[in-house]
Amino acid sequence: MKKRVLIYHTGGTFGMALGDTLAAQKQSPHFLEDLLQRVPELPSLAKIELRILCNIDSSDANQKLWCLLANAIQEDWNDFDGFVIIHGTDTMAFSATALAFILQGLTKSIVFTGSQRPISAMRSDARVNIIDAVELATRGIPEVMVCFDSEIHRATRVTKYSNEHLYAFKSYNAPVIGSLGVNFKIKRKILNSIIPFAKRHMPVVNTNSNSNIASLLCVPGVMPSDSFIESLLNSIEGLIVQGFGSGNLPVTEKNWLNLCQKALLKKIPVVMSTQCESGAVSLDLYENGRIFSDLGVISALDMTFEAASVKLMIMLGRKISFEKRHEFFATPLAFECTPVSKNKEDIGTRK
Ligand code: ASP
């Protein structure tokens, strides 16, 4: 029997020109008609329905959209075998990661896709991306995924890498879990995680998150001033810093140390992420990281910046105690990091 796939449209480049008709009208039947006219293959892959949840540039996506999506999926759960979310590429990795954290114990596929060129444009990647995403959504892989340019990424491992190439996404610290080339290929381990149809129960939905965080990127010679530190720490509940390399910050001038020390004194958790796309944060590798680790700064390990920042919001939203912050961060919720013992082994070989 044909699988039932529900497509949620949220916006982005994908529907932009369909848009005058589609998005402006916000009428699902018109959007679906237009989509099926341009991609007539879709009904042979699955029984398709479509809902327009919103039509925004994904720069405007936020916690509200994550909740909207999670609640919609919960409501539609029993009527569909899989879900596709059309989303702008700019913040797709954040929204996909958030859903992977929010929907606990997932038993069906949630596939994010979008495109670099509108579906109406010459050489658009939208057609192939939606075909791939719908096909993937029928397979029952119990994960949130990003399907783009015929590659299948884990939601929590992917980053937007290019605004120019159709190959827009990369998973730097984890291999892709499959691809749709000449053949549809999925890793055996992932295929083994598919569970029988009768057991595809509703996930536990926990939308608690707290966006009252700040993100700072360290630039050589640019120091947070005392007044900046004071006003910042008076207004946030969590901080994520993108340090250099394996998670290092300047220590000769004490500003970053002061910032972290003062934050931690106020029980504001501080996460150290890195400006490197590839490789893990390893605070014990250099003195300029160790000092921060000794203060109590949390390592983002090999998480993407997207995963680390969303995990910080989720940690605050779930009211995880300040003392449990390291444990919470080091424990994968949805494959977002390599467990610490494995990271340690890797670092060992580099010494
Ligand atoms: N600015 C667009 C968005 O993220 C880009 C895209 O969809 O590719 O909504």
Query: Which residue did the predictor score with more confidence, 28 or 69?
Result: 69
Q: How far is the CA of 86 from the centre of ligand 1 (A)?
A: 10
Q: Give, to the nearest 10 degrees, the angle between helix 287-295 and helix 255-265.
A: 20
The model carries a pTM of: 0.94
304 part of the active site: no
The closest residue, in CA terms, to atom 7 on ligand 1 is: 88
- Assess whether 262 and 342 both reside in one domain: yes
Place of tokens 């779930």: 318
Look over the chain and give the mean of its residue pLDDT values, rounded to a whole number: 94
- Assess whether 122 and 225 both reside in one domain: no
- Assess whether 237 and 187 both reside in one domain: no
90 annotated to a ligand binding site: yes
The band of 348, judged by pLDDT with boundaries at 50, 70 and 90, is: very low
Q: Is 95 in the pocket of ligand 1 (CB under 6 A)?
A: no
| Mode of pairing for the β-strands spanning 109-113 and 103-104 | unpaired
Q: How far is the CA of 5 from the centre of ligand 1 (A)?
A: 23
156 part of the active site: no
Predicted confidence at residue 25, as pLDDT, reads 46
Q: Is 125 in the pocket of ligand 1 (CB under 6 A)?
A: no
Q: Is 58 in the pocket of ligand 1 (CB under 6 A)?
A: yes
- Assess whether 62 and 102 both reside in one domain: yes
CATH number, domain of 190, equals 3.40.50.1170
Predicted confidence at residue 26, as pLDDT, reads 53
- Assess whether 34 and 153 both reside in one domain: yes
The band of 18, judged by pLDDT with boundaries at 50, 70 and 90, is: low
What percent of the chain is modeled with pLDDT above 90? Answer: 91
Q: For 139-188, what is each residue's pLDDT tens digit? A: 999 999 999 999 999 999 999 999 999 999 999 999 999 999 999 999 99
Q: For 225-234, what is each residue's pLDDT tens digit? A: 999 999 999 9
Q: Is 13 in the pocket of ligand 1 (CB under 6 A)?
A: yes
- pLDDT exceeds cutoff 80 at 340: no
CATH number, domain of 312, equals 3.40.50.40
Name beta bridge partners: 170.
159
- Assess whether 56 and 83 both reside in one domain: yes
Q: How far is the CA of 17 from the centre of ligand 1 (A)?
A: 13
| Domain final residue, candidates 176, 205, 234 | 205
Residue 171's domain comprises 4-205
- Assess whether 335 and 289 both reside in one domain: yes
Q: How far is the CA of 162 from the centre of ligand 1 (A)?
A: 12
| Domain final residue, candidates 154, 182, 205 | 205
- Tell me how far apart the alpha carbons of residues 5 and 130 are, in angstroms, rounded to a whole number: 12
As for how many domains the chain has, the answer is: 2
Q: Is 10 in the pocket of ligand 1 (CB under 6 A)?
A: no
| Domain final residue, candidates 189, 205, 221 | 205
Q: For 270-324, what is each residue's pLDDT tens digit? A: 999 999 999 999 999 999 999 999 999 999 999 999 999 999 999 999 999 999 9
Percent helix, strand and coil across the chain, each to the nearest 5 = 40, 20, 40
Q: Closest Cα partner for 261 from 295, 286, 291, 293?
A: 295
Q: Which two tokens stand for residue 4?
A: 């039932």
- pLDDT exceeds cutoff 80 at 347: no
